[in-house]
A and B are shown apart, each in its own frame.
Chain A
Amino acid sequence: MTTETQTYELGNHPDWEPPSNTTGIIGWLRKNLFSGYVNSVLSLFVFYLLYIYIPPLFNWLFVDAIWGGGSREVCEVEGAGACWAFIDSRFSQFMYGFYPKDLLWRPNTAGLLLVALMIPLFIKSFNYKWMLGGFILVIYPIIAYFLIHGGSFGLGVVETNKWGGLMLTLVLSGVGIVASLPIGIVLALGRRSEMPIVKSVSVIYIEFWRGVPLITVLFMSSVMLPLFFSEGTDFDKLLRAMIGIIMFQSAYMAEVVRGGLQAIPKGQYEAASALGLSYWKSMGLIVLPQALKLVIPGIVNTFIALFKDTTLVLIIGLFDLLAIIQQANSDSAWLGFDTEGYVFAASVFWVFCFSMSRYSIALEAKLHTGHKR
């Protein structure tokens, strides 16, 4: 084959295919995994590590795992992987704690109701989101309280010491967020106030609670709270934990809301004053609706943090999801399956936190429109 020099008229050069090693799978591999010596060695090393660790982990988790069976004998087989029978046999306890079995429909109804109420919030064309949101924040907790705790409408009382598991985790974090939101808003407004005493009281409150670990707050509310009130005031253990969490969380909430207040241009405040609106009217009608919309992702993020932090209540003797798994681990009938318990708890927490954080990111992208400057 002879090589000829071809000449083309100006502008008539045909398009050639890109070199084969820059397209397709090979091109992708060269570009993303093997560009240069260092990267090649690094890629091979990482693949080697994955090859060593991932297949055994996968086998342990799924392939060799024992999925059912009422006692530990089913798991004492040669070569058996994870013993999910342990989780299976205690599942309802992990979800509801010591809640009476025949009354489980009550927390279930409360949960389903919440899910049903939340669905329209994700529908784009639904126009009453603010009203529904208000309903969920204000009315729903009351309904849920009467459903889960009982005490009227012919429902028997279930004492809070029977509550536990994932239900308690959700109750604690839900109450923590809902109750700390209004307090947080007031504190954030106080911190931006021009009245020196109001401002300094808010700053001291916020900085104090943000400066101490939640665990000391819980200790304090369980040890010191009974001392603070006149004798005869009896505090439920759960209520004490809730008060501690709300005080702690409202400080964080205040900082999130303050971020939103600062993001609103000064012109909005001035325009509201120019229209002759009073302080509360200008805040309630002009500034806060815009600011709160901006900080919804921030609120979701503090909710995630709180959701993870509720595990600390086990230290003051409440049985949230982690505590109840910890207790099940020390049960002599199922000794030696700690890892399974922790993996289960971790995956439950992970599913909740990961989906919420994805939601918060999506929301941020959606809401971050009018205020980009």
Chain B
Amino acid sequence: MEPIKYVDALNEHYGSMGFPPYKWTVNDVAPLHRPNKPLNESTVSILVSGGISQCTMPGFDPEARNDHRVDAIDNDVSSADFQIHDAYYDHSDAERDINCVFPIDRLREMAAAGEIDAVAPRLWSGFMGRIYNRTRVLEETGPAFVEKLNEDGVDILLAVPA
């Protein structure tokens, strides 16, 4: 099937809820950092944006807007220890198996098999959808997040928008 046209669907959906028209970010070019080591020597982390939190943490606001919360998740937690609060996607499969959207078991297996060097000490969940104040991501919360990746010696970030 053809990919869903989310831009049109979201414009219609948000418009019907009385929100002002969303000003989409459109970029013509993108930066690229080419890694200086192979995958099997790389430390990898994951960032997922689907309202996923550990059961001991407060749930995300399923209707959140402009929520810059990012949770650090220790790399050895059980994949059964998660809850999902996000009204904007169907997370019934992810509730059964978090790896469909946040593949922590698979990443640990890749490390054990030597396909990557290591899972970073911290994995991440946050930057949920509907962030309207994007300048803040670019200038404040994004750089602060990246600083934490650097503290952990992360070479590669697997990013999962949901």
A, B in one complex: no
Residues of A within 8 A of B (CB): none
B residues at A contact (CB < 8 Å): none
